[in-house]
Amino acid sequence: MIMSGYSNSFFHKPQSHHLASRHVAVIGAGAAGLVAARELRREGHKVIVFERGDQLGGTWVYNPNVESDPIGVHPNRTLVHSSMYESLRTNLPREAMGFRDYPFVAKKGDEERDPRRFPVHREVLMYLKDFAGEFGISEIVRLETEVVLVDAAAGGKWKVKSRSKGGGDVEDEIYDAVVVCSGHHTEPRLPQIQGINTWKGKQIHSHNYRTPAPFQNQVVVLIGSATSAIDISREIARIAKEVHIASRSLPDETNEKQPGYDNLWLHSMIKGVHEDGSLVFRDGSFVVADIILYCTGYKYHFPFLKTNDIVTVDDNCVGPLYKHIFPPALAPSLSFVGLPWMIAPFPMFEFQSKWIAGILSNRIALPSQEEMMEDVKAFHSSLETLGIRKHYTHNVFGYKFGYDEWLAAQCGCPGFEEWRKQMYIAALENLPKQPETYRDELEDHHLVLQAHQDFTNYTVNGVGVVDK
């Protein structure tokens, strides 16, 4: 099964009692980069975080602007990092979403804050800023500084070339290690559609969706079925003429009007499109549409990374990577935080970062390069045996808690709390069943009580962070 290699048997005993302090570059100051920086510093490393944006928070920094190319394929388009839309509320309850030892609790008495369990994007940004402030991370973030090149240097070190805003100075520095935390929700992934080059209508990727206004009175075909597709289709349906959701995960004969709407339909995937504006679904039915809105996900993209093709991205599989983190031939000096998806992201970033930090200091040992490569091969062949396509390599849904718990065990820290697992699963299950109300009608008060009980265990710098 995919769990191949998630046992302890590979792991060597720690190599040394002398903890090494490394000079580490972290690329990106989103949730992953912030917690990576904290864990690295806790372990005694010297850390600099590079962030090309003008504030920390990554994808949670809402930007009302969109890119110059609405489907995001033009290489010279103006780039906007965040894919947040104005109305976005989290798809996980805050208790399950937050870092394990810095609970994401509601802050009372501040009108700027959103106390709901599934808050708006701004609240997540404020939580991340609180986190960075609490652990002194803000001071080590170089804002408006883009890493343009990461290249091997002598002695197993890395050259990091960065450029400050306005095309200013390019700086070359040498680091012992680089931790890539640059996110993977910026580079749109588009499906191949027969006839699309002759189709005259508008096309936009959800990366460039902010508000429903441009869809007023339009006939829209929205492709996708993940959380954003569910949210956006309903938001648009309030003002569009018609919204047709096309999903490749539905049977060919699907053609259903959605309950509670008289202008929202669910279909199978599109078979092809035509010059006259029509789009034909797999069941042979068709609509004439004004706009195609792609909610079809994103691609991994590391334009700054030069590894002599040791690390490649092939059909959205970054590899070869041991446990989605270390390229065996470049471990442990190069690592990635945040690649796996279909998992509670923030706590996973925390476990991955603890592991990386412990390995860099020699407190935790990695297997040999050969053993790691064997594990990677075994992992890929288990995916193949199960018929899992390459672009799902980093979808860890089938073993999500196993992955986190394996990492936690390597670090010698507690794994996922039982209440967190149950809350996460309940949120995922409720979403398709109650797409309009799942955020506000949860029946999990017993889990919330358990979460808050656990939160009392966590204090930061001696100060309780729980708002009881």
Radius of gyration from C-alpha coordinates of the chain: 23
3-state secondary structure of 237: helix
Q: Which residue in the set 6, 50, 215, 416 belongs to the binding site for ligand FAD (CB under 6 A)?
A: 50
Question: Does 307 engage in binding with ligand FAD (CB under 6 A)?
Answer: no
Residue identified by tokens 């960065």 is 162
Residue 357 buriedness (CB in 10 A; 0-12 / 13-18 / 19+): buried
The conformation of residue 330, written as its DSSP 8-state character, comes to G
Which residue type, as a one-letter code, is found at position 128?
L
Shortest CB 186 distance to ligand FAD, Å: 7
Q: Which residue in the set 103, 132, 178, 182 belongs to the binding site for ligand FAD (CB under 6 A)?
A: 182
Q: Which residue in the set 5, 6, 26, 28 belongs to the binding site for ligand FAD (CB under 6 A)?
A: 28
CA neighbor of 138 nearest in space, from 52, 38, 21, 59: 38
User: Phi-psi region for residue 95, left (φ > 0), alpha (ψ -120 to 50) or beta?
Assistant: alpha
Which region among 46-54, 197-205, 212-220, 410-418 touches ligand FAD (by CB under 6 A)? 46-54
CA neighbor of 407 nearest in space, from 442, 455, 358, 440: 358
The conformation of residue 341, written as its DSSP 8-state character, comes to B
Q: Are 281 and 301 in contact (CB under 8 A)?
A: no
Q: What is the rounded CA–CA span in Å between residue 116 and residue 93? A: 9
* Interface characters, 117-156, with ligand FAD (x: CB under 6 A): -----------------------------xx---------
47 vs 289 by CB, closer to ligand FAD: 47
* Interface characters, 343-382, with ligand FAD (x: CB under 6 A): --xx------------------------------------
Question: Does 338 engage in binding with ligand FAD (CB under 6 A)?
Answer: yes
Question: Does 185 engage in binding with ligand FAD (CB under 6 A)?
Answer: yes
Contacts with ligand FAD in 55-94 (CB under 6 A)?
A: 58-60, 81, 83-84, 88, 90-92
Question: Does 450 engage in binding with ligand FAD (CB under 6 A)?
Answer: no
Give me the residues that bind ligand FAD (CB under 6 A), please: 27-33, 50-53, 58-60, 81, 83-84, 88, 90-92, 97, 146-147, 181-183, 185, 228, 304, 338, 345-346
